[in-house]
Amino acid sequence: MNFKNLFINGVCSGLKKGKYDLGIIYFPYGFFALASFTKNKFKAAPILISKKNLSRPKILVVNSKFANAGTGKEGFRRALEVAKFCSKIFGVKQNEILLASTGVIGKQLPVSKIKDGIKKLEKFFRQKKASPLSFAKSILTTDTCVKTAETKNFWACAKGSGMIAPNLATFLCFILSDAFVDFKKERKIFKNALKVFNQISVDGETSTNDSVFFLSTALKKIKEGDFKKQIDFVCRQLSRKIIEDGEGATKVIKIVVRGARTPKEAQFLARFLSNSPLIKTAFNGESPNWGRIYSRVGFSGVNVDEKKLKIKICGTKVFNGKPVFFNRNTLRRKLQRKFVSFEVDLRQGRENFEIWTNDLSKGYVKINAEYN
């Protein structure tokens, strides 16, 4: 990815004391843009504005600390004020601006601080001071680390640590590229690339602000296969980094459902298992308590034959139509690793689905109890 073709940077605007909290991506000739937004019915003001301005945007403005969701007409007015001010400072049309926000729901944007930050960023633009890393830092909330991924023609960053579930998550993602193929093909490839974000879950929650933006300068034509391979790579890398940085997480848990009758059944059961507090706390305690998995499968509503059901934890068979003898001490040692897994085989069909989640710890409770 060649950052000589566009401007990207982040600054400390005062929303978060002494930390990066405001970022801009700017291409004076306009991006070819695609986006996907939260499935939550309560959509934040910046999403409503961005959905209208996707045709050929030139600037994306993002802030952390304040989600600008649940803020009513005043929140929408403040978002428009930010867009209007940015359009004036950078000399673009107001409908050429995309907005994204993340942070606490229900608090109004401190517009004056954001305006001061935009002024700083415009100064950096004139000085040709680009910093993708500063932008990646500006979008973080409870994240413990910056999340970026890069290939020859793509650069991407994301934030996400809690409120992570299929159909996006509390998560912002920005994918930048100089590359282009046929626009209809790009749209299809982009949609397919996002599926990996529906295979992660921290806590089963989906926020009001979730957004994935693909912004291309379209200055470089590449092969369709290369385009697909590279965007798939950055999305896959970011999804793994998000789940590894789950709030308070000590374990990354891979869940595999096999032998389902339909893809829908496999996906539903995998997600149902990934959202179980009992299973997640058992893994946090490094307990080989297969009964929690067994019980959750039976409660799922999926038509399962107990005599066919097979369960493995970290590759160790613990149930096969009935309890199986296994060495509990050996399995406990496997559960002490950071990357652990369990597999449920229904043995009723050929459909499989994989999802990644993490354990539920005291740290998760503490972070969310103190978040506001």
252-369: CATH class: alpha beta
**Residue count of the chain:** 372
Cα–Cα distances in angstroms (integers) from residue 349 to residues 258, 329, 331, in the given order: 8, 33, 29
pLDDT band at 206 (very low <50, low <70, confident <90, very high): low
Q: Which pLDDT band, with edges at 50, 70 and 90, does 68 fall under? A: very high
Q: How many CA atoms lie within 13 A of 47 on its CB side?
A: 23
- What's the pLDDT tens digit per position in 23-45? 999 999 999 999 999 888 899 99
What pLDDT is recorded for position 164? Answer: 47
Residue 267 makes CB contacts below 8 A (sequence gap 6+) with 353
- Whether the per-residue pLDDT at 169 is higher than 50: the answer is no
Domain boundaries defined on the chain: 3-244, 252-369
Average model confidence (pLDDT) for the chain? 91
DSSP lists the bridge partners of residue 156 as 149, 175
What Rg value do the Cα atoms of the chain yield, rounded?
A: 22
Q: Which of 4, 26, 9 is nearest to 139 (CA)?
A: 9
170, 208, 217, 316: the catalytic one is: 170
| Token reading at 179 | 């590359």
Q: Are 172 and 102 in contact (CB under 8 A)?
A: yes
How far, in Å, CA of 165 to CA of 176, rounded? 24
pLDDT (tens digit per residue) in 234-289: 999 998 888 888 766 788 899 999 999 999 999 999 999 998 989 999 999 999 99
- Which residue type sits at 355? I
Tens-digit pLDDT profile for residues 296-316 = 999 999 999 999 999 999 999
Question: Quick one: fold of 3-244?
Answer: L-amino peptidase D-ALA esterase/amidase (3.60.70)
The answer to whether residue 141 is catalytic is no
More confident residue, 177 or 359: 177
The pLDDT tens digits of the residues spanning 96-122 come to: 999 999 999 999 999 999 999 999 999
